[in-house]
Structure 1
């Protein structure tokens, strides 16, 4: 798709002015420099747009809402005391682009940033954890950083468009929302890590002997006009497959089959 979706990262910080931010980025020697309103990675030439704003009273509550796993931490208290907010904007739509954006945000964390909120997914991470994720990108940690799972009548992923991939949706057959979220986590990680050629009607199972799901094309969730959550690549809906006992013993595992 030529018109790749935007990936936007929000980084609150202690910087009193744009000039102080520029100086902090320079002093931390993370391999980035300012070039006008762009942040430039010296080694690769990657650039993303930088928007510097003053303190925003809505930011702390927004971080708590999508970062409940660290809401009570000292790091979250630091977010409440932020002096400014920086937004990094670039194109997603591929693993390479998404990881480049993550590294750019890590440079700002290294320069004093207090956390990272993924505006195009709806999740926030503390500074130390973000740094850890970016140091381990070779272990496919971008999937953990940029994808979330929403539970309701349906359980669905949000954030796969950052990699240029469809979302996944399932209606829990037994009402177990956590099990459904774990299923989608495994399935979307498989899409991210292996890049399989998937077609309507293929089947998927997380392991040998586990329930089998028929994969069907479906529209992605509609979050409304201009939402950064919208996925232009659509979605895969996983539908439970009823199998005979003999079929269940045939060696189902966590790969797709025709």
Structure 2
């Protein structure tokens, strides 16, 4: 599709210059090289843009806001002392593309990067945790890394456009339970690529609440926002009657 969204990853670090970063990437032995403004995997040929910018005095605050799960750690404290910020920019739109961007960011972490903030999602991860997720990409850890769940008037996902997939939205009084259900649903979309249509139904498991799915417009974050999803969204609405038969059905109800 012509409007394939970009994956943008923000990585603070101690590098004084692009040449210093290039030297660290080469010395780390990960198989990546920094060729001008292109970070390249010499084994696969994958390349993404790397833009190195000066330190951002607001970045430590931004990371703490986007990574509350590690805000009190020493790794988060280190970000206040970053020298420069590497921005990795590349096309999303598929699991393969998202995984490739994650591996590229891991190469920058191995060269001294202090964490990764996904500017196209709004979540930040500690460096060791990022490396751990990249070592388990076959287990779909990119879903955990690149997708968040937001509770407002509705509960909704953000970040599925990194994989070329729609977001998911629902309404519920139990915001935590709704987020857990959407997490299961969006992972199912990524792992199994079901052919959904309006009226199909979904449940986490036999005996659990059944939802009817409907294609809707995604959350609009405003013009030019990296959070916007061009692939739309699925709204999941609870079905009152008890589900019968298989836990997943494509039959219209």
Q: TM-score, normalised by structure 1?
A: 0.96
Aligned partner of 2:169 in structure 1 is 169
Q: Does 1:178 align with 2:176?
A: yes
Instruction: Answer whether contact 1:203 1:256 (CA < 8 A) is retained.
Output: yes
CA distance in structure 2 between the partners assigned to 1:200 and 1:212 by the alignment: 14
Deviation, structure 1 residue 242: 1.1
Among 229, 240, 243, which residue is 2:241 paired with? 243
CA distance in structure 2 between the partners assigned to 1:17 and 1:42 by the alignment: 22
Aligned partner of 1:49 in structure 2 is 49
CA distance in structure 2 between the partners assigned to 1:138 and 1:6 by the alignment: 22
Q: For structure 1, which runs of at least 5 residues remain unmatched after alignment? A: none
CA distance in structure 2 between the partners assigned to 1:3 and 1:65 by the alignment: 29
The alignment covers a number of residue pairs equal to 251
Aligned partner of 2:226 in structure 1 is 228
CA distance in structure 2 between the partners assigned to 1:34 and 1:229 by the alignment: 27
Matches within 5 A, 1:3-14: 3-14=3-14
Q: For structure 2, which runs of at least 5 residues remain unmatched after alignment? A: none
Instruction: Answer whether contact 1:52 1:84 (CA < 8 A) is retained.
Output: yes
CA distance in structure 1 between the partners assigned to 2:123 and 2:40 by the alignment: 25
| SS of residue in 2 equivalent to 1:107 | helix
CA distance in structure 1 between the partners assigned to 2:109 and 2:36 by the alignment: 20
CA distance in structure 1 between the partners assigned to 2:191 and 2:165 by the alignment: 11
Q: TM-score, normalised by structure 2?
A: 0.97
Aligned partner of 2:20 in structure 1 is 20
Instruction: Answer whether contact 2:196 2:250 (CA < 8 A) is retained.
Output: no
Cα RMSD (Å): 0.9
Q: Does 1:201 align with 2:199?
A: yes
Aligned partner of 2:88 in structure 1 is 88
Aligned partner of 1:257 in structure 2 is 250
Greater than 3 Å deviation, 4+ residue runs:
none
CA distance in structure 2 between the partners assigned to 1:31 and 1:55 by the alignment: 27
CA distance in structure 2 between the partners assigned to 1:92 and 1:5 by the alignment: 6
Aligned partner of 2:68 in structure 1 is 68
Aligned partner of 1:145 in structure 2 is 145
CA distance in structure 2 between the partners assigned to 1:214 and 1:141 by the alignment: 27
Instruction: Deviation per CA, 1:2-30: give whole Å up to 9, x if none.
Output: 33101100000011111110100010011
Instruction: Deviation per CA, 1:132-191: give whole Å up to 9, x if none.
Output: 00000000000000000000110000000000000000011xx10000000100000000
Q: More displaced, 193-202 or 104-113?
A: 193-202
Instruction: Answer whether contact 1:166 1:233 (CA < 8 A) is retained.
Output: yes
Deviation, structure 1 residue 252: 4.3
CA distance in structure 1 between the partners assigned to 2:208 and 2:245 by the alignment: 10
CA distance in structure 2 between the partners assigned to 1:19 and 1:103 by the alignment: 21
CA distance in structure 1 between the partners assigned to 2:98 and 2:187 by the alignment: 15
Instruction: Answer whether contact 1:205 1:252 (CA < 8 A) is retained.
Output: no
